[in-house]
Structure 1
Amino acid sequence: MAAPTSRLLELLSLLQSQREWPGTVLASRLGVSPRTVRRDIDRLRELGYRISATMGSDGGYRLGAGEHLPPLLFDDEQYVALTVALRTAAVAGAGIEESALRALTTLQQVMPSRLKHRLDGIRFTVSSPVSAGPVEPELLIALSSAAQTRDVVRMIYGSDEIPRRVEPHDVLWFGMRWYLLAWDRSADDWRIFRADRITRQESTGVRFAPREIPSGSAREYVEARFKGSQTGGWPCVGTVILQRPASAVLPFAGDGTVVDLGDGRCEYTSGSWSWVALAASLGRFDADLEVVAPRELAEAFGVLAKRNAAASK
């Protein structure tokens, strides 16, 4: 059984994670009796947290929303998650870099001392593409709000002079850039817009019915389009035998698969947006290879050989 103080923090964390918890479920999660849960709920109420209860065999507890709640408390895992999220937000290109750093400083000042040394060990670098321009937070908020309310947006994109009328479906952070996935009414098709190239947008006040996104979700669709596919996987997938041990290939395999064949050889399967691009990517292993399948990959090596020969003259 957890100590009373840590148990209260865990209970509060659970109550903050969803609207209502059955008392028996809370007791099971905390490893205590329903009676102990009721006592802990009373302690939280004494601290100022407004927690309502429903009666009956399926009775539960709900943490009330409002402006007068005491400061939120976080458990150790939440402190770690917030630290990583804020350090990433500091380079997200959304115009919140300074605010994220100030929030991180505030978080470090209030977190338990036992965590400071642990979190000081979290050091990582998030690279940002030079070509990606800054994106104002107000733009991201407006686009996200339009996606939630299903509001048609009129916007100027890139060098366009004529406004586009689009149906925003989602705003995504992908490949170190912010994107808007929307149905373009002019093109009568899905389009992926870089948020940093949207120079002006405004609501039209016209509502639209949500459309089914190909590939299931916005992220899956965007990932597929950047692979040159409509289904989520690479459009061109091939298999080769490399004259290198699997241990030497694995660190550079990316999303490919490696099968150890012994005798310093391995079978490698990977994909790309074209057969020639796939053939060229296999050159990074600097090894003799044998094409297993398909025939298109073998033919692509022939095309690549001609291009390389011409470039060497």
Structure 2
Amino acid sequence: MKFLKITIFLLLVSSNFLQAKTDTIEVFSKAMNKSLKATVIKPAGIEGLDHEFPSVYVLHGAWGNYLDWHKNVKKNNLLQELADLYQIILVTPGVAPFSYYYDSPLMDSVQYETYISKELVPYVDANFPTIKDKNARAITGLSMGGHGAMMIAAKHPELFSAAGSMSGVMNIDVRTWVGNESTQEERRKSQREMLGEIEYDYPFSPYTAVGLVNQMKQNGIALLIDCGVDDFLIETNRQLHQLLLENDTPHEYTERPGAHTWDYWTDALPFHILFINQVFERNKIRLHD
């Protein structure tokens, strides 16, 4: 019995050691004069190893925070399992609600494009064993975070080799959303406060993903877009898909059953990480050039 207890104890210690480790960090943003939290999920057993890993930034949605991808997914330890499986470092930043990850021309407190691209990425690269090369770095996100991922990657091709969107707000124009009429005017009001008057019709504002399709083509970043057919943002995703087809931008586009829910995103994230990992595998030769 004593031997059995010791064996069980060692197994528990071993399984805990082998699980990917999550660190909570706090990064000061000079652009906004405030600190923001994020989590960094590392593959298991990397402490003390002289080895660097690819990194993926996973962005949350409008009502979320830096812990969303840990607390709300429907599969326990999903991020940790993905970090271990693909030997990657995952980063989940936190930003303000309804900020859409852009830099406001009117509000110093809303400079999230700058924060992600010029403050958070350098901080993570300086403090964690990441491969400091765009060919081993990617970004994806859900809803508002999908918008952020596509927009930031389009504007900063020097940082990312792949970008993804799950149920993303590919057009911040609330007229393209299906339903949710009660909240649409609130969103438009907050957009005016942060952006002022912008162009919502074609060729669209650069503050929205559909206004950046030319940059997406020029940059050659691998793109993955998916959305549930019952999602209120489905038309914005179809619109971006059509614009990318029209300007001959290579991209992966998927519609499947589902709505704007954590059930959908729990299923979507492994698909995105698989896609990103395939991009990293193709990029390996470039890392050694």
Same fold (TM over 0.5): no
The structure with the greater share of residues assigned to strand is: 1
TM-score between both structures, scaled by the size of structure 2: 0.25
- Point out the structure with max Rg over C-alpha: 1
Q: Which has the higher contact order (CA 8 A, sep 6+)?
A: 2
